[in-house]
């Protein structure tokens, strides 16, 4: 099954959101101070949002963005390896 890539930006409750992600079947990679993550999984941004426990009435708030497969930059080798392994939009 092909994976989509998403970015989660937590405004509050990032620890709780991370614990929810750990219980899901999604793969994730921390980006910024444990508040922003790359996430690989099937489904929609709304699906990822629910798995990260981002909802009204919870202690976790934030936003989920679906990536379009176009990205560039200078970053750690680990980030690029994670992207290469988890970006289902790229052909093998």
- Residue ranges per domain, the chain? 4-86
Q: Kindly report the pTM of this predicted structure.
A: 0.84
If 0-12 CB within 10 Å is exposed, 13-18 middle and 19+ buried, where does residue 40 land? buried
For residue 89, name the pLDDT band (cuts at 50, 70, 90). low
Task: Give the per-residue pLDDT at 36.
Answer: 94
Distances (CA, A) of 15 to 39, 55, 69, 73: 15, 15, 27, 27
Task: Read off the pLDDT of residues 10-40 as tens digits, 9 standing for 90 and up.
Answer: 999 999 999 998 898 888 999 988 899 999 9
> Which CATH number is associated with domain 4-86?
3.30.70
Give the rounded percent of residues in the chain with a pLDDT score beyond 90. 48
For residue 64, name the pLDDT band (cuts at 50, 70, 90). very high
Residue 37 dihedral angles phi and psi, to the nearest 5° = -135, 145
Chain-centroid distance, C-alpha 72: 17
């Amino acid at each position: 099954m092909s994976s989509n890539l998403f970015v989660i930006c937590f405004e509050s409750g990032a620890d709780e959101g991370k614990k929810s992600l750990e219980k899901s079947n999604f793969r994730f990679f921390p980006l910024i101070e444990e508040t922003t993550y790359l996430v690989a999984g099937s489904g929609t941004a709304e699906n990822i949002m629910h798995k990260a426990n981002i909802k009204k009435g919870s202690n976790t708030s934030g936003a989920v963005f679906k990536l379009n497969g176009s990205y560039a930059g200078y970053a750690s080798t680990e980030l690029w390896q994670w992207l290469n392994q988890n970006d289902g939009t790229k052909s093998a």
